[in-house]
Structure 1
Amino acid sequence: MGMTIMRRVKFNAGHRLFRHEGKCQFFHGHNYVADFYVTGPETDAVGRIIDFAQLKALLKGWIDENWDHGFLLNVEDENGLNAIRMVEPTKYFVLPYNPTAENMARYLLDEVCPSVLNELGVQAVKVVIWETEESCAEATIDQDEKREHSLFDAFQTDSFPTGLNW
């Protein structure tokens, strides 16, 4: 039986969307909510995949240090980066792409979660970013793709039984 837990982290951050054709091209901010869905192969002696407090400390710790009360900007947004660097003190984080809710969820799932959960035997399988109460985006790890990839990898190795007649 698979089990998944979810931990919610709230934070405030500003951003602007590089090359946006509307009002989101301007600096503005949101009260974000990030939902982290985490799974593991088994529960511990207490019956947990991971302690919620430990999950909070790791994920909220990363967000507090890097994103909370800061500005998220696209690495290609030279104008935005130059403007934000002129403010002292300032806190900003440069993403490899536009800081949309979709890309923020993807970055947390692909980059942050593996680095902070790496040694705990658990894996984030979905991250949902709520930009407003009515709008969210989610990034998920597709389990079917992982199974197909694993099967494909098996074909690329000598792990199949020998002597099969095709």
Structure 2
Amino acid sequence: MPRLNLTDPRFKLAAYLAIASLIMLASGCSTSKDELLPHGDTTMMDVWDQGAGGSSNSTSSRQLLDARQDLRRPLQPHQAGALDDNARFTRTAQNEIYSQFKRLPNPDLVMYVFPHLSGSDPAPIPGYTTVFPLYQRVQYAMPGERTEAY
């Protein structure tokens, strides 16, 4: 049976790591609930005002409200046109029932197969007509793309 060597550097490192982890574990439980969440007569509005720069009647709070009001300015007339351009692509209850992506026409092609011989033991195949679509899959137009014939 191997003997435990207390002077081995690996043993010392493992011991230091164990002690450090126990200290960290014990320090995590050292705070109290009252210290972490103090009780008092302050409301959430008081906490909010304090975080926003003081009480609601101070000059810094007034400056903050003025800056927020500047951000809430109405749209300029030239910006309203850009919204109208995008309104065609916006989903609403009215246009939701209509498809924005129209199906592109997929015409049927008619092919006539002439009479022929087929197979390893040539068997006569009579001529016939078959119909198949031009495109393998259904194709869709982009919104606003023209779908009617030119």
**Normalised TM-score (structure 2):** 0.17
Q: Which structure has the larger Rg?
A: 2
Bigger fraction of residues in helix: 2
Bigger fraction of residues in strand: 1
Larger relative contact order (Cα-Cα within 8 Å, sequence gap ≥ 6): 1
